[in-house]
């Protein structure tokens, strides 16, 4: 008996993002950037469709299950290998977007496209492998903790969270076994005003297909592979891409299937660009190669054993009429670091600073830039409690930044 291929972490992964100019809409000709070169886990897609069991009088069983508004989130854990902003101060990655949010301003949203590719000939409707996609639109980067542990041999880990995403779609494109023309049709005759853009890898072969309802439309170009299929508007029926002879490569579901929202597919590249590898040696970003300095009224610790940096943006979500997508509004940004220190009398020093509200800037110096928590103050401290046998009493302090008269709570400057 043959054994089916499983989903594998060893398959090729691509994870990219682009800043949206209009919330929830992928820009035309997007210039994608890679999120990272080395992932520990992705895409961390969590979905809640608010399914509720409907109970009615006169029936001892559930009448039916109903879906409501959707909450979506994405999460990526990766090795840090670049500073989050470039020399011009523009964001290099989603962490840079969070760091660059000025007080009182809107938070940029991203379109995020994650792809996993299986090339096994035993997989797919045409026995030529598949490409699986998770596409998030209107994605708010809301947190990106950085774990700094000198005992880790690998680079510092960033745990990026898109805590709220307006819409997320999952798709599987079955790859053609040979170059072929593609046939497109809808299950609903009213779908005659939408256009489907189809591309291969790198958009070297591309064609715009005007839908003609249930009437099949065949491309003039032939496609050796398929890497994007993007609608310019939702459809009522389900859109299928086939070889015209019974093999289906992709289905994009319309409002008839969902009941409220239709899918838009995988964003097209157009005249845009794919993200390129960062290319830096991640070993450069080992925590033990970094430096942390304390300024102002905060004393520098004798030993610094760990620094877990955290920046987070709260969000408010409310269901809204006419769509399953939540209304998402970003709120307060908080910046903090959990610091483990030691020395001849570090606990006494940190307690004194905590009890008297001492403040100062705390600078995390990375190979190519500095992240500074400004007006940092100890907001939480461990109990001073030595235990028998303690050869090194490691004392934990949480420091938090705040906005000064002319500064944000956190800044990032590329060297």
CA 386 to chain CA mean position, Å = 42
Give the Cα separation of 17 and 92 in Å (integer).
10
Give the Cα separation of 300 and 226 in Å (integer).
56
**Number of neighbours of residue 57 by Cβ within 10 angstroms:** 5
In a domain, 377, yes or no: yes
- The pLDDT of residue 320 is 94
In a domain, 358, yes or no: yes
Which CATH number do you get for residue 397? 2.30.110
In a domain, 385, yes or no: yes
Query: Strand, coil or helix: what is 19?
Result: strand
- The pLDDT of residue 1 is 61
Strand ranges for 319-358 from DSSP E: 327-342
- The pLDDT of residue 15 is 98
Residues of the chain with pLDDT under 70: 1-2, 405
In a domain, 216, yes or no: no
**Number of neighbours of residue 35 by Cβ within 10 angstroms:** 25
> Which residues make Cβ contacts (< 8 Å) with residue 61, sequence separation at least 6?
none
In a domain, 332, yes or no: yes
Strands 239-242 and 248-252: antiparallel
Residue at token pair 């060893």: 10
Strand ranges for 45-100 from DSSP E: 46-48, 52-54, 64-66, 71-79
Instruction: Identify which of 353, 355, 340, 351 has the alpha carbon closest to the alpha carbon of residue 393.
Output: 340
Task: Let me know the angle formed at the C-alpha of 330 by 326 and 331, rounded to the nearest 5 degrees.
Answer: 135
- Provide the number of structural domains found in the chain: 1
Q: What is the DSSP letter of 20?
A: -
Asked if 187 and 91 count as a contact pair (C-beta separation under 8 A), the reply is: no
What are 364's two structure tokens?
């995390």
Exposed e or buried b for every residue in 272-294, given b needs 16+ CB within 10 A?
bebbeebebebeebbbeebebeb
Asked if 115 and 192 count as a contact pair (C-beta separation under 8 A), the reply is: no
> Which residues make Cβ contacts (< 8 Å) with residue 89, sequence separation at least 6?
100, 413, 414
Residue at token pair 């989603």: 94
Asked if 156 and 79 count as a contact pair (C-beta separation under 8 A), the reply is: yes
In a domain, 194, yes or no: no
Taken in order 242, 247, 251, 254, is the CA torsion positive or negative?
Answer: positive
DSSP collapsed to 3 states, 37-60: CCEEECCCCEEECCCEEECCCCCC
In a domain, 376, yes or no: yes
What are 238's two structure tokens?
């389900």
What are 141's two structure tokens?
């980067």
In a domain, 350, yes or no: yes
Asked if 108 and 51 count as a contact pair (C-beta separation under 8 A), the reply is: no
Q: What are phi and psi of 99, to 5 degrees?
A: -65, -35
Q: Distances from the Cα of 31 to the Cαs of 75, 266, 270, in angstroms?
A: 21, 15, 10
* pLDDT, tens digit (0-9, with 9 covering 90-100), for 293-316: 999 999 999 999 999 999 999 999
Identify the domain containing residue 390 by its residue range: 282-414
């Amino acid at each position: 008996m043959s054994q089916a291929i499983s989903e594998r972490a060893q398959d090729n992964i691509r994870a990219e993002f682009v800043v949206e100019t209009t919330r929830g809409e992928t820009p035309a000709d997007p210039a994608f950037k890679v999120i990272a070169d080395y992932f520990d886990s992705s895409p961390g897609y969590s979905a809640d469709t608010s399914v509720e069991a409907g109970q009615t009088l006169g029936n001892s069983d559930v009448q039916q299950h109903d879906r409501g508004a959707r909450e979506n989130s994405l999460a990526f854990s990766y090795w840090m290998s670049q500073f989050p902003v470039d020399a011009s101060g523009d964001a290099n990655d989603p962490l840079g977007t969070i760091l660059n949010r000025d007080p009182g301003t809107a938070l940029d949203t991203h379109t995020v496209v994650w792809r996993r590719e299986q090339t096994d000939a035993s997989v797919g409707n045409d026995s030529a492998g598949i490409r699986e996609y998770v596409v998030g639109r209107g994605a708010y980067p809301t947190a990106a903790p950085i774990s700094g542990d000198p005992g880790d041999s690998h680079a510092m880990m960033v745990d990026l969270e898109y805590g709220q995403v307006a819409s997320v779609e999952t798709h599987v494109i079955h790859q053609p076994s040979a170059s072929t023309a593609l046939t497109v049709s809808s299950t609903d005759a009213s779908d005659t005003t939408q256009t489907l853009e189809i591309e291969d890898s790198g958009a070297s072969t591309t064609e715009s297909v005007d839908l003609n309802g249930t009437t099949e439309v065949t491309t003039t170009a032939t496609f050796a592979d398929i890497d994007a299929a993007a609608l310019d508007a939702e459809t009522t029926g389900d859109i299928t891409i086939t070889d015209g002879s019974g093999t289906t490569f992709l289905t994009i579901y319309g409002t008839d299937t969902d009941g409220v929202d239709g899918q838009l597919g995988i964003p097209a590249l157009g005249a845009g660009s794919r993200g390129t590898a960062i290319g830096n040696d991640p070993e450069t970003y080992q925590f033990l190669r970094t430096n942390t300095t304390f300024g102002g009224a905060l004393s520098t610790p004798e030993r610094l054993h760990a620094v877990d940096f955290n920046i987070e943006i709260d969000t408010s979500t409310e269901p809204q009429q006419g769509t399953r997508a939540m209304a998402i509004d970003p709120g307060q940004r908080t910046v903090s670091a959990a610091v483990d220190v030691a020395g001849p009398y570090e606990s006494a020093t940190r307690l004194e600073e905590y009890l008297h509200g001492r403040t100062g800037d705390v600078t995390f110096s990375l190979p190519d830039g500095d992240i500074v928590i400004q007006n940092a103050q100890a907001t939480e401290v461990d109990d001073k409690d030595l235990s028998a046998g303690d050869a090194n009493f490691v004392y934990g302090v949480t420091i938090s930044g705040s906005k000064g008269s002319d500064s944000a709570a956190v800044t990032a400057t590329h060297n």
